[in-house]
Amino acid sequence: MKAIIAVLPGDGIGPEVTAEAVQVLEAVGHRFGHRFQFGYGLLGGCAIDATGSPLPPETVLLCQGSDAVLLGAVGGPQWDDPMAAVRPEQGLLGIRKALGLYANLRPVKLAPALLHASTIKPETLAGVDLLVVRELTGGVYFGPRQEATPEDEVAYDTMLYSRPEIERVTRLAAQAARGRRGQLASVDKANVLASSRLWRRVVTELMRAEFPDVTLEHVLVDAMAMHLIRRPAAYDVVLAENLFGDILTDEASMLAGSMGLLPSASLGEELNPHGQPRGLYEPIHGSAPDIAGKGVANPLATILSAAMLLRHSLGLEAEAQAVEAAVDAVLAAGLRTPDIADGAVEVLGTAAMGAAVVRALDSALT
């Protein structure tokens, strides 16, 4: 296979962790006989500094001409003014819109070797294997809003959803559940919010009509926040609107012990030349400016995001599984980055951990 992959390293630790994911992809291409071409673009704070825009037109064109996009992270203290007219996060929202990405997939599956990395009791974590599907283009992040002024000190954001938006993300989540354990938990706040009452009604109607074989459960968001800590293994696929999904997935990252372990995929309806969704793949963690440049960031979430890229945008399931198995092998061998170093056989930096995954990949394929 020949594939073009856009790489947007971004800010903070983004360039460090994406470099390791690219090395893993290059190793996959060499071992399996694929040719991956990488094109690099600016996004976020680095793009503001270089061009004045968090999302330069050249970056949009690069991504639209690629089969998939690998992203590091955006943001940092030098761009943190929430009242600034131009902010790094606008670039992230902009590229999602430009590529028509409406669903964010965030798997949470614990490596057996890391059951003790979390602050949650190992017996509670045993068997956790869930997928959170977060709607990306609607809700309070995109609804009508007003900033406060010194005159009135009133501000508002609007949680706005339409039936088509809810239907398409529900359909994607239900299809994922059908391929897993056949269970879907839809999260809302229907006891208070009108948009959540629409969400619940549309989800119920679509599931009844198109996915009668998938078990549907409705869960209020505050209850789900509790259940994720109390009994996370009970859930298979969790569907949530934009804001709720954003918060719950950060909470779920603590099940694994570190945000440096969890990948994500953002998918849309547009297909690339391989007949697969042109997705954007990124770790769920931020730019971590406090450790940027120190070579200690955990690259595993980005490497696992590259595995999702292989699976969802290139249709290379065996290759994706090989990368995931290599990560599991490294962790089983007791190799750790500082964020998960408790009980480690050896603590590695960013580049050394990436190299260890490549070695594990080589070992498994020889």
Q: Is 119's pLDDT higher than 80?
A: yes
Q: Per-residue confidence at 333, pLDDT binned at 50, 70, 90?
A: very high
Mean pLDDT of all residues in 305-309: 98
State residue 366's pLDDT score.
Answer: 73
Beta-carbon contacts of 174 under 8 Å, excluding residues fewer than 6 positions away, are 184, 206, 207, 210, 211, 214, 237
Cβ pair 89, 246 in contact under 8 A: no
Pairing mode of beta strands 215-220, 237-240: unpaired
- Catalytic residues, by residue number, are 141, 189, 222, 246, 250
pTM, full prediction: 0.92
Cβ pair 169, 133 in contact under 8 A: yes
Domains in the chain, start-ordered, CATH in brackets? 1-103+269-366 (3.40.718.10), 118-255 (3.40.718.10)
- The tens digit of pLDDT for each residue in 55-111 reads 999 999 999 999 999 999 999 999 988 788 899 999 999 999 899 999 999 999 888
The Cβ of residue 183 has, within 10 Å, a number of other Cβ atoms equal to 16
Q: Per-residue confidence at 25, pLDDT binned at 50, 70, 90?
A: very high
- The tens digit of pLDDT for each residue in 193-241 reads 999 999 999 999 999 999 999 999 999 999 999 999 999 999 999 999 9
In single-letter form, the type of residue at position 170 comes to T
Beta-carbon contacts of 129 under 8 Å, excluding residues fewer than 6 positions away, are 107, 108, 109, 110, 233, 236
